Amino acid sequence: MTPPDAYAPQSGDPSYDVRAYDIRLSYRVRSNRLDGHAILHGVAIEKTSSVRVDLIGLRAGKIRMDGEPVGRVSQGPRAVRVTLPRTLEPGEEFSLEIPYSGKPGPRRSRWGAIGWEELSDGALVASQPVGAPTWFPCNDRPDSRARFRIEVGVERGYRVAATGSPVARRVAGAEEIWEFVSDVPTATYLAAVHIGPYVERMLERARIVYPPALSAAVAAAFAPLPDMFACFERHFGAYPQTDYTVVVTEDPLEIPLEAQGLAVFGRNHLDAASERLVAHELAHQWFGNSVGIRRWQDIWLNEGFACFAEWVWSEASGGPTIAACADAHHAVLRAAAQDLLLTDPGPDRMFDDRVYKRGALALEALRRRDGDERLFALLRAWTARHRHGLVTTDDFRALAGPASADLLSAWIDRTALPDLPPGPRR
């Protein structure tokens, strides 16, 4: 039997995989009422007569499998256990139809409050790493990726942004219904919905959704996006998503957060100092959202690579060079505790800043030894070979090759911080 993820052992069911989610939502902003209907199109990985579906803070209704009523249903605080009307054999496809409703809210976790969150006038989703079940029933594992169709009905006057490409918008009574479709394999933690009294503008390849009162600040903050796209495509390969939507909330947010083909920022992220965050979230569309991690312990493959992309943009836009950024952060890490193992930081330190910076420094060490041309060829090969796939650290070791094994291991397999090698600094 496939074990659960070691960092989130209470999430997900490894006995089956979900290939597609079809989600219909009706949301009332003022009362924070969510009525949902989800169809999970799955396939059995192991022989099983029951499945677990993650769902938090919402009540499931009568569940059906392939149109038939299921057997016993037991709902606890984290999940619904469903006894199936027949035993599934490995490889057998099935569908679960789950109506659900309630007042959604974030879940409390060791990583803080995550998931569905009410705003002063609207709502957002920030699910990483285990917040997806606060708004839809799912198999919440990083290694279970699926296609999505998301339909959201809200009162008129509100705009919806969600994972996928917008394909339809219609009025039905007092509701305006927005539909989004994504054929890109997406992890549950990277699916998102954002609702607010927003307007929308296109900025070349990006769709910006924001409160109209912030129009000038939004225009200034995201003006570099077209050049960021060009910069990252030169260094990392073609943009791997079908869309890119940026949502800006009227509320301040602690941090911005990426989702598949989407990122959300608070009004407090519109100053010049936040430009690196704009670059970081865009870079995740390559690193983390297209090339996805199979297990949470390899989070450095998401965050370290996106942090390195910040330095690439800094140099390309006339700011401090990659080397200068690396030197500054190396000095900070040198003064910090030397007790973090990058390839297995532990669940409580998944999002420790040292994971971000040391991961980026590992790439800088390769660049200083091998030069720009070889390092960026390696990164383009990484994003091409594993486009919309799942990876572990060992996959990166294999691609970097035996000649890089010792250098890479010093950065990612040991707690002591190595010196940066001599080489191209610029």
Its pTM stands at: 0.97
Architecture category of domain 198-285 in CATH = 2-Layer Sandwich (3.30)
User: Where are the domain boundaries for CATH 2.60.40.1730 in the chain?
Assistant: 1-196
Alpha carbons 77 and 70: distance in angstroms, whole number: 20
Q: At what angle do helices 372-385 and 393-400 cross, to 10 degrees?
A: 130
Q: Are strands 206-210 and 245-248 parallel, antiparallel or unpaired?
A: parallel
* Tens digit of each residue's pLDDT (9 = 90 or more) over 306-326: 999 999 999 999 999 999 999
Q: Which residues contact 423 (CB under 8 A, 6 or more apart)?
A: 367, 368, 369, 370, 371
Q: For 73-116, how does the pLDDT look when each residue is reduced to its tens digit (9 = 90+)?
A: 999 999 999 999 999 999 999 999 999 999 999 999 999 999 99
DSSP reduced 3-state for 292: strand
Q: With left for phi above 0 and alpha for psi between -120 and 50, is residue 352 left, alpha or beta?
A: beta
How many Å apart are CA 129 and CA 245, to the nearest integer?
20
pLDDT at 1 over 80: no
Average pLDDT, the chain: 97
The domain made up of 292-412 has a fold known as Neutral Protease; domain 2 (1.10.390)
| Tokens matching residue 118 | 């009410």
pLDDT digits (tens, 9 = 90+) for 259-314: 999 999 999 999 999 999 999 999 999 999 999 999 999 999 999 999 999 999 99
> Contact, 218 vs 208, CB < 8 A?
yes
Domain with CATH 1.10.390.10 in the chain: 292-412
Is the domain spanning 1-196 CATH 2.60.40.1730? The answer is yes
Q: How many C-beta atoms surround the C-beta of residue 424 within 10 A? A: 14
Residue 299 and residue 287 in contact, taking contact as beta carbons nearer than 8 Å: no
Cβ contacts of residue 295 below 8 Å, gap of 6+?
5, 6, 7, 142, 143, 392
- Are 164 and 36 in contact by the 8 Å Cβ rule? The answer is no
The CA angle 166-146-171, to the nearest 5 degrees, is: 25
pLDDT attached to residue 424: 61
Where do the CATH 3.30.2010.30 domains begin and end in the chain? 198-285
Tens-digit pLDDT profile for residues 29-63: 999 999 999 999 999 999 999 999 999 999 999 99
- Mean pLDDT, rounded, for 333-348: 97
User: What is the 3-state secondary structure of 294-354?
Assistant: CCHHHCHHHHHHHHHHHHHHHHHCCCCCHHHHHHHHHHHHHHCCCCCCCCCCCHHHCCCHH
Q: Which residue has the tokens 């297209």?
A: 290
Q: Are 39 and 11 in contact (CB under 8 A)?
A: no
